[in-house]
Amino acid sequence: MKTFSTKKTDFTRDWIVVDAKDMPLGRVASQIAARLRGKHKPIYTPGLDCGDFVVVINADKIVLTGQKHTDKIYNWYTGYAGGIKGISYGQLLETTPDKMLWLAVKRMLPRNKLRKRYLGKLKVYAGTEHPHIAQQPKAVNLIK
Domains and CATH numbers, the chain: 13-66+95-140 (3.90.1180.10)
Ordered per-residue pLDDT tens for the chain, 144 residues: 788 888 888 889 999 999 999 999 999 999 999 999 999 999 999 999 999 999 999 999 999 999 999 999 999 999 999 999 999 999 999 999 999 999 999 999 999 999 999 999 999 999 999 999 999 999 999 988
The pTM (predicted TM-score) of the whole model is: 0.92
88/79 Cα distance (integer angstroms) = 20
CA distances, 1 to each of 4, 6, 14, 109, 114 (Å): 9, 16, 31, 33, 30
